[in-house]
Amino acid sequence: MSYEHLIWEQDGGVGRITLNRPETLNAWNPDFGRELKHVIEAEAADPSVRAVLVTGAGRGFSSGADLKAGFDVADDGMPDVAKELNELYHPIVAGVRHLEKPVVAAVNGPAVGIGASLAFACDLILAAESAYFGLAFVNIGLMPDGGSTLFVPTAVGKARAFQMALLGERIEAQRALEWGLVNYVHPDGSLLDEANVLVTRPIMKEPLARLRERCDVTVHENDFGIPRDELLEVVQGRDAIVTMLTEKVDAGARFLITQLFFDNAYYCDFVARAREIGVDVPIIPGIMPITNYGQIKRFTEMCGASIPAELERELNGRADDPEAVAELGVAYATLQCSDLLARGAPGIHFYTLNKSPATRSILAALRAAHPWTRAGATV
């Protein structure tokens, strides 16, 4: 199929999408949106495509919505922004997140508004030195859309996300790299060469699930699309999972995590409730190895949870011996792993509030002993 506003190319297992309205810095109008939706849902989703590269023609990646083109008119006479969001923008971003293959963005210039959201939806982001990102929605009286209210806070934290959303500031490529919005920054002239090298690497041609299993990365609870305050809300009031889970999955979360607080039965209850409301993505249990008795005690009390009585008795006798507490925590976490796997857990996420070198060593040992898990320090 030929496209007027896009260029689709496939070379072996690599598909390349070039946003091609350079005269508008690749701004989105309805025809552009329909073409992009089709190419993601049809061409890029084809099993013969093992990795996807998205970039822009001309001087920019995408300047966002084409305001000159405007929107359809709603029944109240106002621009029907919701229609375009629901029929085009959100399906496009969700389509990128649901692709079972790595998606790489090569941001060659401004990425603004929905253009920035598209870039943030990709698994890896390379930026040219001249590129910048902006949540410019505030400049036209809108709140950020296209999934950026999920992608940005999980990457940069609440304070910087509000800075971007409320002030509409430009975030230049180097600052985006420092903040964790992008993975690499390259000179403008070599960006596409570097992106092509990346998407043709052998590991990029593996199915996404296997790729993630092999990636040795530190993960945070927010990588799963559930901020810590919402996790605490779920622990304190489990009915909150209905709204929280559906919102995160609709926004593009490919898998979810639930923190256990030493209660494996809670995980089973959590999954059962999620399945009842139609959430079918993998739900991964989290385990907090005990590395600091006082900290663990305060955290579990804050969440309305408790440490099993027999474990607490042992901890009380070792509270002044950090190494003994850590060894006990690892031993207990290992028992939990076996039990959770027997209950059908798809994997385990180890996390801790203690980011000391000793704790990182413990997590490394757990990762080595259980290669099917993720281990990381939670921020």
* CATH domain 6-212 topology: 2-enoyl-CoA Hydratase; Chain A, domain 1 (3.90.226)
Cα–Cα distance for residue pair 346/103, rounded to 1 Å? 23
Assess whether pLDDT exceeds 80 at residue 193. Answer: yes
- pLDDT tens per residue, range 75-100: 666 666 677 777 888 889 888 988 88
Q: Is 170 left (phi over 0), alpha (psi -120 to 50) or beta?
A: beta
- pLDDT tens per residue, range 16-44: 999 999 999 999 998 999 999 999 999 99
CATH of 221-377, one of 3.60.15.10, 3.20.20.220, 3.40.30.10, 3.30.160.270: 3.20.20.220
The domain locations on the chain are: 6-212, 221-377
Q: Residue 223's pLDDT band (boundaries 50, 70, 90)? A: very low
Cα–Cα distance for residue pair 253/147, rounded to 1 Å? 10
Q: Residue 248's pLDDT band (boundaries 50, 70, 90)? A: low
Residue 129 host element (H or E): none
Q: Are 171 and 133 in contact (CB under 8 A)?
A: yes
Residue 123 pLDDT? 87
Q: Are 226 and 249 in contact (CB under 8 A)?
A: no
Residue 378 pLDDT? 31
Q: Residue 236's pLDDT band (boundaries 50, 70, 90)? A: very low
Q: Residue 226's pLDDT band (boundaries 50, 70, 90)? A: very low
Considering only residues 171 and 231, tell me which one the structure prediction assigns the higher pLDDT: 171
Cα–Cα distance for residue pair 146/205, rounded to 1 Å? 27
The yes-or-no answer to whether 6-212 and 221-377 have a common fold is: no
Cα–Cα distance for residue pair 290/316, rounded to 1 Å? 13
In the chain, what percentage of residues exceed pLDDT 70? 64
- Two tokens at 202? 């052998």
- Two tokens at 33? 């949106």
Question: Order of strands, edge to edge, in the sheet holding 283-287?
Answer: 256-259, 283-287, 349-352, 374-377
Q: What is the pTM of this model?
A: 0.56
Residue 272 pLDDT? 81
- pLDDT tens per residue, range 314-364: 777 666 676 777 677 767 777 777 778 777 787 777 666 555 666 666 666
